[in-house]
Amino acid sequence: MSKPLSDHDRKKQISVRGLAGVENVADLKKNFNRHLHFTLVKDRNVSTKRDYYFALAHTVRDHLVGRWFRTQQSYYEKDPKRVYYLSLEFYMGRTLQNTMVNLALENACDEAVYQLGLDMEELQEMEEDAGLGNGGLGRLAACFLDSMASLGLAAYGYGIRYEFGIFNQKISSGWQVEEADDWLRYGNPWEKARPEYMHPVHFYGRTEHHPDGVKWVDTQVVLALPYDTPVPGYRNNIVNTMRLWSAKAPCEFSLKDFNVGGYIQAVLDRNLAENISRVLYPNDNFFEGKELRLKQEYFVVAATLQDIIRRFKASKFGSRDIVRTDFSTLPDKVAIQLNDTHPALAIPELMRVLIDEEKLPWEKAWDICIKTCAYTNHTVLPEALERWPIDLFQTLLPRHLEIIYEINRRHLERVSSLYPGDVDRMRRMSLIEEGGQKRVNMAHLCIVGSHAVNGVARIHSDILKATVDLYIHSPEKYFYEMDPHKFQNKTNGITPRRWLVMCNPGLAEVIAERIGEDFIRDLDQLKKLHDFFNDESFIRDIAKVKQENKLKFAVHLEEHYKVKINPNSMFDVQVKRIHEYKRQLLNCLHIITFYNRIKKEPNKQWTPRTIMIGGKAAPGYHTAKMIIRLITAIGEVVNNDPVVGDRLKVIFLENYRVTLAEKAIPAADLSEQISTAGTEASGTGNMKFMLNGALTIGTMDGANVEMAEEAGEGNIFIFGMRVEDVEAMDAKGYNASEFYNRIPELKQAIDQIAGGFFSPKQPDLFKDIVNMLMHHDRFKVFADYEDYIKCQEKVSALYKKPKEWTKKVILNIAGSGKFSSDRTISQYAREIWGVEPTLEKLAAPDDPK
């Protein structure tokens, strides 16, 4: 949705965007003005665009409240097994438009805002992104919440309400500069504080062992204050809850300190406690053993488990309210999903609660813990593996370290009994790593303490359970050999509500005209589009929607980057975190090669491209920051070369985030998914591009493998080494110089980077990148260069045949059904959590008047 509907569009009123009747428009206008006056205390004379956004947000939220009450009341009455999704990240983006789509309010709100003389797109731009995630892991969690509500599961998302989310990225003189993401500076109309459910969280102290049990004493206390955000399902009147915890210092001050004049300092010291929820750590896929991070991880699980147990105990039996005391039934009522190792402390914390507070014997508590918890692994990169130093654990969480030692003792006894005399296996499978500094391996803790362990794409799950890791010998295969029943695959998915209906309404409308609207709830129905593969009018409609999206995005790019874009060029897009394994450098080498070819043969009919790369580099990740600088430097040369003209443009998309993805993905022609085979766990950006009508150029890595199966391998551009090729190259040794000396165009590109062609004022600016590529590139960029360039030639050749290109686009969209997060969550529900949908649909409450 862009500008207010024209009179012509208003008469059309496309069904896919929801026909909340025009009778609602008067009520919406009335409530908008009521909120402007009584909630915001403004009138039209002094109101700003932000005030109007808040008034609209509160008006839309009114339609959630009754549904939210009814949903939670129904869960209490039915007392189902509930799912608790624990994640340190929820990358929600903006909420307003997604809520309007899911409640079928979008058309009525469009009309009301238009009649009020306002611009809907301008109001939406006032909303801050809730950027409480680094990338794929946090965005996956957000998609899962949407699907759990849309499927009617009694589910809750639990995380941290970071005061500052993922940093805002500015590009200054070609360099990334980080700015604080103060997303709460104007308030958040979608959340509701719940101080009545505040819980204490303990740190430090010591343990006392008594005949009647263990006590954790002399602790420092931080309070966890919950903020609830409603999560609406798609047009089923079900509204689930995301609960995020904010750290607050307790109010008690030492009277002694007060008497000696320490009152002011005592108040100021509250900040130390509240720092726990101050900021999201931006180092994704790189482990840093910071005490504050460990505090965050324990803070979220300790508060959440208190909430889970409070809700478990306060139950209903028939028509009576009861207090449930039999914890053996916990796995029948509670499923805890650990989104990566960040919430791993839920395992020892649940054991502590069951043993120390509820006085259960160890064996019974452990059985309950395993049956309740499940673990999702998101990476095979060794540098991402969480290994916490024992001394830090001992200081911060002394009781939990004791419990982990006991878990490990019993675990190794079992390993020893099954594999007697295999000392190496025991060492590799231990929860405690002994070499050098002793550390707790959190992935091993998760595997041992869960009843299910899943990867997030079939190839990733196979790597986890059946092979050794590409860069270090992985012990996961030993865990698989011991407990094969634990290991599963759950290929990731995306919500079609946000990633099609909301961000690409034109495409959703064209699809709905052919196959109806049921695909929004059942994405597998996109297979019906195979019937329209040769339909001339459908081919034209698909191509027209793509061109409209490109024109719109070209305007956005020109406004923000002052670069005039050729909208008829191929929009070639790589957007994801900047990381060596994502291989933005391989993309750079293609850009340079293409540039050199144009310069060599300027009169040849080249397929024009606008190449866009976007993503954030973790602030401490030097190589990633240098990659950004190289991309911008290449752009400075290419974009200002008159010989090249508009046949090649290079744009670095600044501050890539959910909101920018919603603009870029519908406009993309080509999706770059070019990680080294065996390094990307799954990817979800690849799925978003596929669903929105971009063709993929990629390696056989992550979900690309399954995308090729669904669309047909002939309809996706696959290149490069497979996992077995990478392993073979590792075995014999990778020598970058062989490729550099053998391939003239590769040598030319590297020599240009090394010689200062792209940095004439500082010729050695990129020496670190060149040195890395030539001498210690774990991700083997040169090995895939030649095949990548040949594959890009095939892409360019096909793009010159618009009809053939669009046919492949249709086959990709038709094959996207598997990659709905509804499918993923349905599989989690059946195969891991053991739950069925509690509610299929609720009756709508009376809308607020």
**pLDDT tens column, 781-813:** 999 999 999 999 999 999 999 999 999 999 999
What does the alpha-carbon distance between residue 22 and residue 492 come to, in Å, rounded to a whole number? 38
What does the alpha-carbon distance between residue 65 and residue 847 come to, in Å, rounded to a whole number? 9
Q: What's the average model confidence in pLDDT over 765-777?
A: 98
How does strand 199-203 pair with strand 155-160? Answer: unpaired
Examine the pLDDT at 56 and tell me if it is beyond 80: yes
Residue carrying the six token digits 């970071």: 162
Examine the pLDDT at 849 and tell me if it is beyond 80: no
State the CATH class of domain 496-819.
alpha beta
What does the alpha-carbon distance between residue 818 and residue 496 come to, in Å, rounded to a whole number? 11
The pLDDT of residue 313 is: 94
Q: Where in the chain is the domain with CATH 3.40.50.2000?
A: 79-94+129-492, 496-819
Q: What is the pTM of this model?
A: 0.95
The pLDDT of residue 260 is: 57
Q: Looking at the DSSP assignment, which residues form a beta bridge with residue 798?
A: none
What does the alpha-carbon distance between residue 267 and residue 487 come to, in Å, rounded to a whole number? 49
- The model's pLDDT over 565-578, given as tens digits with 9 standing for 90+, comes to 999 999 999 999 99
- The model's pLDDT over 601-616, given as tens digits with 9 standing for 90+, comes to 999 999 999 999 999 9
Extract the tokens encoding 122.
Answer: 């301008």
Which DSSP symbol is given to 807?
Answer: H
Average pLDDT value for the chain: 93
Sequence letter at residue 13: Q
Sequence letter at residue 421: G
**Which residue in 688, 632, 682 sits closest to 661, CA to CA?**
688
Q: How many CB atoms lie within 10 A of CB 640?
A: 9
Examine the pLDDT at 471 and tell me if it is beyond 60: no
- The model's pLDDT over 408-427, given as tens digits with 9 standing for 90+, comes to 999 999 999 999 999 999 99
Are the CB atoms for 839 and 238 separated by under 8 Å?
yes
Task: Give Cβ neighbours of residue 608 (< 8 Å, ≥ 6 apart).
Answer: 566, 568, 569, 570, 646, 647, 648
The pLDDT of residue 256 is: 54
Q: Looking at the DSSP assignment, which residues form a beta bridge with residue 225?
A: 246
The pLDDT of residue 12 is: 40
Q: With bands split at pLDDT 50, 70 and 90, how would you rate the model's confidence at 474? A: low
pLDDT higher at 827 or 563: 827
State the CATH class of domain 79-94+129-492.
alpha beta
The pLDDT of residue 840 is: 80
Task: Give Cβ neighbours of residue 474 (< 8 Å, ≥ 6 apart).
Answer: 380, 463, 464, 467, 468
Examine the pLDDT at 3 and tell me if it is beyond 60: no
- Lowest pLDDT segment from 44-48, 317-321, 342-346, 593-597: 317-321
| Radius of gyration of the chain measured on its C-alpha atoms | 28
Extract the tokens encoding 579.
Answer: 């990381």
Extract the tokens encoding 794.
Answer: 């095939």
Examine the pLDDT at 4 and tell me if it is beyond 70: no
What does the alpha-carbon distance between residue 357 and residue 361 come to, in Å, rounded to a whole number? 11
Q: Which of 16-20, 224-228, 559-563 has the highest mean pLDDT?
A: 224-228
Catalogue the active-site residues: 378, 576-577, 582, 684, 688
DSSP 308-349: HHHHHHEEEETTEEEE---GGGHHHHEEEEEESSTTTTHHHH
Examine the pLDDT at 14 and tell me if it is beyond 60: no
CA-based max dimension of the chain: 89
- The model's pLDDT over 125-168, given as tens digits with 9 standing for 90+, comes to 999 999 999 999 999 999 999 999 999 999 999 999 999 999 99
Are the CB atoms for 453 and 488 separated by under 8 Å?
yes
What does the alpha-carbon distance between residue 810 and residue 789 come to, in Å, rounded to a whole number? 25
